[in-house]
Amino acid sequence: MASPINASQFEEFDITSSDGERTVSLIGGILSFQYFENLLSPNVTATLSIFNTGNTTNGQGLYNGLPVRGGERVFFKIKTPVEAEAEIDVQLEHVLYVNKITNVISNKGKEELTLHLSSREAITNEQSRVTKKFYGQTIDKSISQIIKLVEPLKLTKFEETENIYNFVGNLRKPFTIISWLQSKAIPVGANSRSAGFFFWQTRKGFHFKSVDTLIKDGVEKGEELPSFYYSTTYDSSLEDAFKNSKKILSFNVMQDNNILDDLNSGTQSTYRIFFNPVTFEFTEPQNSIFKETPTTTLGTKEEPPKVADPENIPANFMASRIISEVYDVGTLEVGVSTQINYNQIDTTSQAITRYGMLFSTTIKVTISAMTNLVAGDAIMLYFPKTTDEEPEIDDRMSGIYIIKELTHVFLPQNSFTSLKVVRDTHGLYPQK
């Protein structure tokens, strides 16, 4: 069996000057390479620390010989050293570009520097603005049109949304508008009414997917998901559960519910009132405490945490967050209209609740390098109970998690993958 952590295998690692005239191989001079994906980021990033002699190119070091000033193209192909897993192969649409140079050290003919890399789409986004009006179409169709400003050659299919939303670009950046639309979007489906989407980039491209779908896809795959287990010793009694799993090298529970944050954000309940600019009236605030829970969760459905002494709740107790906004009505139409653009009364609270619940538990795990994983994937984690008795699976902590952040770390001597995973509820067995 392969070692949990093996040396990195760089098959190709080239940097090309911004004018396209010079290409230099970086293999042999790589001190570290870290590749990042994030469920909350529309941009894949990486950092590359390299070492070279003063005779790399044109008789000079890389920094002045190429030269490296920003905008250089970096192509890399890295083979996963464990069990022939899928490889990172960033090319064509997924080539990364230098956006910043730091830690430049030059001494006695030797040079070290760190290159900060971003996707080409991130650079294009900063140079693009949305100017047109979007009217009479669903949010996913609008986003499909907007994304072509930064990725015109690749057709990216997004999850369909149910609601129509009208708006004007107002010279905002594409990623800014898409992020603004996320919380307003409702997935298609009679049993999937909660608002809340994510827009993010992985090595596979862009994704626009609802929180509901991320969870539903994970629950439906169940035991077919990539699985990992943590154990300091070999427990023969857990062999059946762990036989198809890979080992967790280390883990840290970063957060397991935060009552004050939940109350502050309105995850548990909100009080909503909106001003109608057409009628100059306020919506009725009654029944505005939103406590509805989603139909599908990653674990066993459970009540939100409560303070231990409920008898001390003050008499004027109400929802922890008050939402007061201008009602989105009468926009974009010719003349005066009372047509509702979208249902803010429901979707505002639904989105707050869905996002807040998903991030209620966060665990950081380190595993052997697995570049077939991407941010947004669902995985199964198994943890044993802390007990002096016969080992058994902790069916509260174990279960399905969503990858929020992913970092592949490649060093000359070893490689590994660090994951920050989240879930909305506890329990090994999900609520379907």
Which tens digits make up the pLDDT trace of 294-305? 667 888 776 666
Question: Residue 98 — very low, low, confident or very high, per pLDDT cuts 50/70/90?
Answer: very high
pLDDT at residue 39 greater than cutoff 90: yes
pLDDT at residue 215 greater than cutoff 60: yes
User: Mind listing the domains of the chain with CATH numbers?
Assistant: 9-119 (2.40.10.10), 124-208 (3.55.50), 225-257+360-423 (2.40.30.150), 260-350 (no CATH)
pLDDT on residue 186: 87
pLDDT on residue 263: 65
- What are residue 422's phi and psi, to 5 degrees? -135, 160
- Report the percentage of the chain scoring pLDDT > 90: 32
pLDDT on residue 8: 67
Helix (H) or strand (E) run with residue 174 in it: helix 174-182
pLDDT at residue 73 greater than cutoff 80: yes
* Token representation of residue 395: 């069916």
Q: If you average pLDDT over every residue of the chain, what do you get? A: 79
Of the candidates 275, 272, 281, 276, the one whose C-alpha atom is nearest the C-alpha of residue 330 is 276
Of the candidates 198, 197, 220, the one whose C-alpha atom is nearest the C-alpha of residue 431 is 220
Higher pLDDT, 389 or 66: 66
Task: Dump pLDDT digits (tens) for 307-316.
Answer: 655 565 555 5
Task: Dump pLDDT digits (tens) for 233-280.
Answer: 655 555 555 554 588 888 888 776 666 666 665 666 677 777 777 777
In this prediction the pTM is 0.84
Task: Dump pLDDT digits (tens) for 161-193.
Answer: 988 888 889 999 999 999 999 988 888 874 545
pLDDT (average), residues 212-218: 91
pLDDT on residue 378: 95
- Report the percentage of the chain scoring pLDDT > 70: 71
Q: Which of 19-28, 231-240, 249-258, 375-384 has the lowest mean pLDDT?
A: 231-240
Q: Which of 204-213, 304-313, 381-390 has the lowest mean pLDDT?
A: 304-313
Query: What are the Cα distances from residue 413, in Å, to 6, 8, 13, 111, 373?
Result: 7, 7, 17, 21, 22
For residue 170, the 8-state DSSP code is T
pLDDT on residue 52: 82
Q: Which range, 189-193, 230-234, 423-427, is most confident?
A: 423-427
Residue partners of 80: CB distance under 8 A and separation at least 6: 9, 86, 87, 88, 369, 370, 371, 372, 415
pLDDT on residue 339: 61
pLDDT on residue 223: 81
